[in-house]
Structure 1
Amino acid sequence: MTNFETYLSPYTWRYGTPEMRKIWSETHKRFLWRQIHDLMAEVKVYAQQCSQAGGIIHLGATSMDVKDNAVVLQIRQSLNQVLSSLRDVLKIFADLIEKHAETPIIAFTHLQPAEPSTLGYRLAQYAQDLEADYQALRRIRNNLRGKGFTGAVGTSASFAELLGIEQLPEFKKRVSELLNLSFFPVVTQTYPRRQDYQVVSALAGMGAVLYKFAFDLRILQSPSFAEWAEPFGAQQVGSSAMPFKRNPIRAEKMDSLARLLAQLPRVAWDNAAHSLLERTLDDSANRRTILPEAFLITDELLRVAKQILSGLRIFEDGIERNLENYAPFAATERVLMALGKAGADRQEMHERLRQHSLKAWDAVQRGAPNPLEDLIVGDTEIRRYITPERLLALMSVSAYLGDAPQRALTVAQTIREIETTDPHN
């Protein structure tokens, strides 16, 4: 039962799934320790042909032979869960990309309107990076290695004394098979802490992508954009003081947690760099927090991302309004190129289009409809070179999307291949 009379880490009850919390629980950790103790006893019985192994459990081993291998097993179990959750998130991204591959939007650079793109292409940016993170985490998971059973400084001297040096290869092989875990060929009292750094850095890298997705959503949910919104429950209260509020609390939570996750690789780096000679203990205390918290934060990020994506609200009216306001400006480049090909003086036409754009921008800033299309089509000097019909075609949004829809679908297809070729990670 949770005791709220004392300090509790929010990761014990608020963030992460019960499954991830269980992996890093004291009970599960000790279960793994016991499993490794029993495994060692079994191997020693095999090696020495003893009928009773109780008296030699842990004989020849350092505590890190048990603890370090157990931690690697916890990391592997956690990565399995992360990969499973990430696959779910990627699948939803693929669904949305395929649905909106050709849905035009206005893209923004420097938070200012730029040129048309598609909604599917924007979503594919996040999905492409997350797919790369999936592959990176999968490689790390598949290449995890434990300390093995090598004693106080990694030389296996105590086990050589206990079993005989000729028995060591078979001993190591059997233990590796029983744990289904490869071991580093060279270790000290611990496995190289660089492995922790690689794991936590990969999680933080994925956190950066999820942070950007959540931050972009917060921008796009703001009234000045009004294109996307995270799910909002019928009974959800946006603000205790302002009943009308619809705050993006899920996306804000993602950014808050991802910001913390980004700091953890630095601690793991210090642990790897400061593990002096054959071992110091100054990594021990912080590893009790950074490893479980890195996974619990990641677990919560993926859980909330799945919630948001599953109920993502896309406002077509807002998208269309932004296109009508800003897409005509991007079309001036196409009009200018067409005028040049038609024999018009480029500098003169550039100035005419610039003047029309300034007038149109003033109108948009006043809240009026964008008049740029009418200004250009109504310019008799421009019509000397290009017909009104051709001008309207040049300013069509659908004609200025490049191959963005096809490339977005390529990302979705890559994700679908994960579903078929790697169904169980």
Structure 2
Amino acid sequence: EDVKGSLKLLGSKGTTGTQASFLELFDGDQETIDRIDPMIAEKMGFKACCPVSGQTYSRKVDTRVVNVLAGIAASAHKLSNDIRLLQHLKEVEEPFEKTQIGSSAMAYKRNPMRSERIASLSRYVMVDALNPAITSATQWFERTLDDSANKRLSVPEGFLAVDGILDLCLNVVDGLVVYPKVIEKRLMSELPFMATENIMMDAVKAGGDRQELHERIRELSMEAGKNVKEKGLDNNLLELIAADPAFNLSEEELKKTMDPSRYTGRAALQVEAFLKDTAAPVLEANRDVLGMSAEINV
């Protein structure tokens, strides 16, 4: 909306942009010529026309438009990557049809094919943004075929690809499956490491030396990490800290720090504020197109 609202129409500039033919047509009447572009802009739904141009408008305009599409694609790609990583960890899954084949070779697999397709199309659009930039940089004094032919491919194809990307995003988000128990299990296995700062502060309150405690936590974290990675054992960092007299904290006291809600900060409030103050007004302004769904063939 920001870019669309700032676009200017080429206007009626004549063969080379100088409006020379209008001087002839209106017997040199400058005031009449000056009224033409504003009238055309209003009729076509634009606020103004380009004040100076050649035969065509500057292709830098196309770069602004396609860069918006590339920005959408980059966000969609990030979303699809996150979903693919979380599906690998079995924490979430994109929709999976009853008869869908997840892999042509391995029947048990449930590959995130929609998210993979989002990434593929998004990569195309991000690279496509180079097209109008290069066309703009190499635009000659007049419109040439390398200019117009490239534009007629890169700009429409960018829009078509983003349309497909957003259809896929709608489909994925609409049917996303979350597995809270898997998330909780992984979170609790890592939480002792995440809680070390709080544990250190509690130990300082109990009379410990901050510098000494920081070094001991570093050493014990390395030991616990080694147990997990090399020996395949559970994370025993809390037991190691409880056994260290420098902390003066019991295992029972340490376990009280294992409430995940203590480490989320203002995340919930931030999301709620975003939905209310940022997302809701946009949705309200586009209410007439809400309720769309997307059927995807996989």
**TM superposition score category, shorter chain reference:** 0.7 to 0.9
Give, in angstroms, the shift of residue 252 of structure 1.
Answer: 0.9
Q: Deviations over 1:273-292 (max 9, x none)?
A: 11133544431111121011
Report runs of 4+ in structure 1 exceeding 6 Å deviation. Answer: none
Structure 1 pair 422–250 and aligned structure 2 pair: CA distance change class (3 A): closer
Higher relative contact order (CA 8 A, sep 6+): 1
Give, in angstroms, the shift of residue 160 of structure 1.
Answer: 3.2
Asked if 1:338 corresponds to 2:202, the answer is: yes
Opposite residue 171 of structure 2, the aligned amino acid is Q
Asked if 1:322 corresponds to 2:190, the answer is: no
Other-structure match for 2:44 = 179
Other-structure match for 1:235 = 99
| Paired-residue identity, % | 36
**2:215 and 2:139 mapped to 1: Cα distance?**
65
**1:165 and 1:299 mapped to 2: Cα distance?**
48
Structure 1 pair 383–276 and aligned structure 2 pair: CA distance change class (3 A): closer
**2:219 and 2:42 mapped to 1: Cα distance?**
75
Other-structure match for 2:61 = 195
Report the number of matched residues: 284
Give, in angstroms, the shift of residue 169 of structure 1.
Answer: 3.4
Opposite residue 370 of structure 1, the aligned amino acid is N
Query: Could you tell me whether the CA contact under 8 Å between 1:325 and 1:364 is conserved in 2?
Result: no
Runs of 5+ in structure 1 lacking a partner? 1-137
Q: Deviations over 1:143-172 (max 9, x none)?
A: 222211211111122133234443323433
Query: Could you tell me whether the CA contact under 8 Å between 2:224 and 2:236 is conserved in 1?
Result: yes
Other-structure match for 2:13 = 150
Give, in angstroms, the shift of residue 369 of structure 1.
Answer: 3.2
Give, in angstroms, the shift of residue 296 of structure 1.
Answer: 0.8
Give, in angstroms, the shift of residue 424 of structure 1.
Answer: 6.2
RMSD of aligned residue pairs (Cα, Å): 2.3
Query: Could you tell me whether the CA contact under 8 Å between 2:90 and 2:182 is conserved in 1?
Result: yes
- Normalising by structure 1, report the TM-score: 0.62
Opposite residue 161 of structure 1, the aligned amino acid is E
Give, in angstroms, the shift of residue 190 of structure 1.
Answer: 0.3
Runs of 5+ in structure 2 lacking a partner? 290-298
Structure 1 pair 189–360 and aligned structure 2 pair: CA distance change class (3 A): same
Structure 1 pair 324–367 and aligned structure 2 pair: CA distance change class (3 A): farther
**1:422 and 1:292 mapped to 2: Cα distance?**
23
Other-structure match for 1:312 = 176
Give, in angstroms, the shift of residue 370 of structure 1.
Answer: 2.5
Give, in angstroms, the shift of residue 246 of structure 1.
Answer: 0.7
Asked if 1:400 corresponds to 2:266, the answer is: no
Q: Deviations over 1:329-370 (max 9, x none)?
A: 111121112212332133443344344433432443344432
1:240-279 correspondence runs (5 A): 240-279=104-143
Opposite residue 36 of structure 2, the aligned amino acid is F
Other-structure match for 1:131 = none
**2:39 and 2:219 mapped to 1: Cα distance?**
80
Opposite residue 305 of structure 1, the aligned amino acid is C
Asked if 1:295 corresponds to 2:156, the answer is: no
Asked if 1:283 corresponds to 2:143, the answer is: no
Other-structure match for 1:79 = none
Asked if 1:215 corresponds to 2:81, the answer is: yes
